[in-house]
Amino acid sequence: MKISLKTTGIPAIAMFASCTGTSEKQPEQPNIIIIMADDLGYGDLSWLGATTIETPNVNRLADEGVRFVNCYSTSATSTPSRYGMLTGMYPWRKEGTGIAAGDAPMLILPEQYTMADMFKSAGYSTGAVGKWHLGLGGERGKQDWNGLVTPNLTDIGFDYSYIMAATGDRVPCVYIENGKVVNLDPNDPIEVSYTAPFKGEPTALNHPELLTLHPSQGHDQSIIRGIPRIGYMKGGKSALWKDEEIADNITRKASEFIVRHHNQPFFLYFGTHDIHVPRVPHPRFKGLSGMGDRGDAILSFDYCVGRILDIVDSLGIADNTIILLTSDNGPVVDDGYHDKAKELLGNHKPAADLRAGKYSIFEAGTKVPCIIRWPQGMNKPGSINPGLMSQIDFFASFASFANAAIPENAAPDSRKLDKLMKNKTKKGAPFIIQQNLNSTLSIVKDEWKYIEPSQAEPIEFWTKTELGNNPNPQLYNLSKDPGEINNLSAIQPEKRTELKELLEKAKK
């Protein structure tokens, strides 16, 4: 495929490699790229029915790959969801895996076996680019942001990392490459605090006149480049990211990683910032969706997917490269900034017809888009597979593709669904378990879903999302009632007991 530098923005080094790299023999082991979107809903892409927004690049991936329409993240928020996928262990088994602060210590411990370790053991080059949100360093608030932050991703299996420590709305607002802040001026050191503001530094609470984007909920601490954030930060001016350039910048870094390693098997975990808040799309997308910044961020995400597809295709490695696109949790419209997402939503349904959204144990919290493209390894590209799958199962399934052995006790919850992921069967996982903001659990088996009783609040404080917490057990038939309206718990006590017992057994 011929692509122009101008339209893709792919760096010159990539273009050079694209002209020379096609003659190499394909590696036996497939390359694997996970594109992990942030807060992208089941209804946010045109391949799943959205008509108010066009996502041509994701459509292309879907047409050339397989759409898995019953795929779930383990959790309805980012940190636990990513923890589950990368460790193959349900995050609710470990304390402290809820939404991480920007100064949280590394939640995956160096001695823990990760997906990256697994790929490395099979001879892969491994990289992580983009959103991290799983903590860094050994102790909360004790990271050396001006030196080497350690432990870092190198200690859990990634040869290369270029990351945002937490989220776009949490300090520190800098990129960290292999444990070191990028572009840091040693004369302007960084300080980070999640407890108290720095003397003399304006906060969003005290100086709203300095803001270019205003908070609707929380987000009233440090002001970084006119945007109010969670947490306090001082210094590091030359290292601060420019929000409107995050998408292009991390996509460039991801592309460069692919170029560097295209002659050997590689694993790339690419976490986009889109479409998380603050949504600050590049000016070329601003206003383009007609749906406010959230819609524009979807277009930006779609564009970045296109660039990853282009680079893979142009290097001649598409046939044996698995590209898996999914999201860390379900959608949210107003997640804390006045960005017109709500006012301009129109007929768009971010969660399609699923109930609730991000944070919730109802379907929209964890049922996420999932597309897998693997020309050489997959059956019937362009089709839809309804087999049940959870992101927890990627670990063991990928290990089988990579010919990697998983040590005993590692990835304890991950099951090999290789045939499903190759679209050679529609038979899915025997059951899957999900978690909401409060760690209330649900279990899905066949068409049945059981939600355990919970005393936690029914509604999320800021977003007013229904969390699905209910002091009584809930049972839904998802094939007849995908919107989870009719609680059949009292009417079908045997089914309820069966699922409850399965969940209790899995917990142990």
Query: Which residues sit at the interface with ligand NG6, rule CB under 6 A?
Result: 38-39, 77-78, 99, 133, 167, 169, 217-219, 230, 276-277, 329, 335-336, 462
- Give the residue at shortest CB distance from Ca ion: 78
Q: How far is the CB of 180 from ligand NG6 (least distance, A)?
A: 23
Query: CB neighbours (10 Å) of residue 155?
Result: 17
Nearer to ligand NG6, 229 or 500 (CB): 229
Q: How far is the CB of 198 from ligand NG6 (least distance, A)?
A: 20
Q: Confirm or reject binding of residue 334 to Ca ion (CB under 5 A).
A: no
Nearer to ligand NG6, 276 or 367 (CB): 276
The string of DSSP letters for 110-149 reads TTS--HHHHHHHTT-EEEEEEE--S--SSSTT---TTS--
The answer for residues whose C-beta is within 8 angstroms of residue 268's C-beta and 6 or more apart is: 31, 32, 33, 34, 126, 127, 128, 129, 254, 257, 258
> Based on C-alpha coordinates, what's the Rg of the chain?
22
Taking CB within 5 to 8 Å according to partner kind, which of Ca ion, ligand NG6, none is near residue 336?
ligand NG6
Taking CB within 5 to 8 Å according to partner kind, which of Ca ion, ligand NG6, none is near residue 117?
none
Which of 285, 286, 303, 360 is CA-nearest to residue 77?
360
Q: How far is the CB of 136 from ligand NG6 (least distance, A)?
A: 15
Nearer to ligand NG6, 12 or 196 (CB): 196
Q: Confirm or reject binding of residue 328 to Ca ion (CB under 5 A).
A: yes
Q: Tokens at residue 352, please?
A: 């399609």
Query: CB neighbours (10 Å) of residue 259?
Result: 21
Q: How far is the CB of 293 from ligand NG6 (least distance, A)?
A: 14
Q: Confirm or reject binding of residue 329 to Ca ion (CB under 5 A).
A: yes
Nearer to ligand NG6, 219 or 496 (CB): 219
Q: Confirm or reject binding of residue 73 to Ca ion (CB under 5 A).
A: no
The answer for residues whose C-beta is within 8 angstroms of residue 307's C-beta and 6 or more apart is: 8, 9, 10, 251, 255
Alpha-carbon span 75 to 89, nearest angstrom:
12
Alpha-carbon span 504 to 295, nearest angstrom:
40
Nearer to ligand NG6, 100 or 421 (CB): 100
Q: How far is the CB of 359 from Ca ion (least distance, A)?
A: 10
Taking CB within 5 to 8 Å according to partner kind, which of Ca ion, ligand NG6, none is near residue 55?
none
Q: How far is the CB of 297 from ligand NG6 (least distance, A)?
A: 13
Nearer to Ca ion, 80 or 105 (CB): 80
For residues 22 to 61, the per-residue mask of contacts with Ca ion, x marking binding by CB under 5 A and - elsewhere, is: ----------------xx----------------------
Q: How far is the CB of 225 from ligand NG6 (least distance, A)?
A: 17
What number of CA atoms fall less than 13 Å from residue 220's CA on the CB side? Answer: 7
Alpha-carbon span 387 to 395, nearest angstrom:
17
Task: Tell me the one-letter amino acid at 448.
Answer: W
Q: Tokens at residue 478, please?
A: 């998802």
CB 441 within 8 A of CB 435: yes
Tokens 């607002």 sit on residue: 173
Q: Confirm or reject binding of residue 335 to Ca ion (CB under 5 A).
A: no
**Strand-pair category, 191-193 with 448-451:** unpaired
Which of 288, 407, 387, 273 is CA-nearest to residue 328?
273
Q: How far is the CB of 350 from Ca ion (least distance, A)?
A: 13
Alpha-carbon span 78 to 68, nearest angstrom:
20
Q: How far is the CB of 327 from Ca ion (least distance, A)?
A: 7
Taking CB within 5 to 8 Å according to partner kind, which of Ca ion, ligand NG6, none is near residue 367?
none
Query: CB neighbours (10 Å) of residue 205?
Result: 13
Q: Confirm or reject binding of residue 78 to Ca ion (CB under 5 A).
A: yes
Q: How far is the CB of 287 from ligand NG6 (least distance, A)?
A: 23
Nearer to Ca ion, 272 or 314 (CB): 272
Taking CB within 5 to 8 Å according to partner kind, which of Ca ion, ligand NG6, none is near residue 334?
none
Nearer to Ca ion, 160 or 394 (CB): 394
Nearer to Ca ion, 117 or 296 (CB): 296
Nearer to Ca ion, 168 or 306 (CB): 168
The answer for residues whose C-beta is within 8 angstroms of residue 229's C-beta and 6 or more apart is: 169, 170, 171, 173, 204, 219, 221, 222, 223
Residues that bind Ca ion (CB under 5 A): 38-39, 78, 328-329
